[in-house]
Amino acid sequence: MNRQRVGFVGLGIMGGPMAGHLLSAGHDLTVFNRTPARCDPLLERGARVGASPRDVAAASDVVFICVSDTPDVEGVLFGPGGLAEGATAGSVIVDCSTISAEATAQFAARLARQGVALLDAPLTGGDIGARNGTLTVMVGGDAEAFERVRPLIECFGKRILHMGPSGAGQRTKMVNQIICALNVLGMAEGLAFAERCGMDLDKVLQVVTSGAAGSWALANYAPRIVRGDYAPGFPMHLQAKDLRLCLEEIRKLGGRFEGTALTERLFREAAESGLADQGTQGMINLLRRPG
Three-state DSSP at 134 gives coil
Angle at 135 between CA 88 and CA 56, to 5 degrees: 25
Q: How far apart are CA 9 and CA 243, in angstroms?
A: 24
Query: Catalytic: which of 158, 173, 203, 252?
Result: 173
Beta-sheet pairing, 5-9 with 92-95: unpaired
**Pick from 2, 81, 11: which is nearest to 45 by CA?**
11
**Pick from 42, 41, 67, 64: which is nearest to 154 by CA?**
64
Angle at 289 between CA 269 and CA 282, to 5 degrees: 60
Catalytic residue check, 252? no
Contacts 24+ apart (CB under 8 A), 28-33: 28/3, 28/4, 30/5, 30/6, 30/55, 30/56, 30/59, 30/60, 31/7, 31/56, 32/7, 32/8, 32/56, 33/9
Q: How far apart are CA 26 and CA 258, in angstroms?
A: 47
Helix runs in the chain, H state only: 15-24, 40-44, 53-58, 70-78, 83-86, 101-112, 126-132, 143-153, 168-196, 201-208, 216-227, 236-253, 258-270, 283-287
Q: How far apart are CA 231 and CA 63, in angstroms?
A: 29
Among all residues, which ones are annotated catalytic?
173
